Amino acid sequence: MSTPWFVFDVGGVLVDETRVWQGWAEALGVPYDTLWDALKEDIRAGLSHRHTMQRLAPGHDIMAIRKARLAHDAPLEHDLYPDVRPAFAALKARGIRIGIAGNQPLEAQPALEALDLGADFIATSAGWGVQKPHPRFFEEVLRACDAPPHAITYVGDRVDNDILPALAAGMRAHYVPRGLWAGMGQSPVPALEGLAEL
Ligand SMILES: [Mg+2]
pLDDT band at 183 (very low <50, low <70, confident <90, very high): confident
Looking at residue 76, its pLDDT comes to 97
The Cα 133–Cα 125 span in angstroms is: 10
Distance 143 CA to ligand 1 centre (A): 21
Q: How far is the centre of ligand 1, averaged over its atoms, from the C-alpha of 155 (Å)?
A: 9
55-95 pLDDT per residue, tens: 999 999 999 999 999 989 999 999 999 999 999 999 999 99
Position 154 pLDDT exceeds 90:
yes
Question: How many angstroms does the Cα of residue 157 sit away from the middle of ligand 1?
Answer: 5
CB-CB contact of 112 with 75 (8 Å):
yes
What residues form DSSP beta bridges with 11? 15
Does the reported pTM lie above 0.85? yes
User: Which class is 5-16+80-197 in CATH?
Assistant: alpha beta
Distance 55 CA to ligand 1 centre (A): 23
Q: How many residues does the chain have?
A: 198
24 CB-side CA count, 13 A = 26
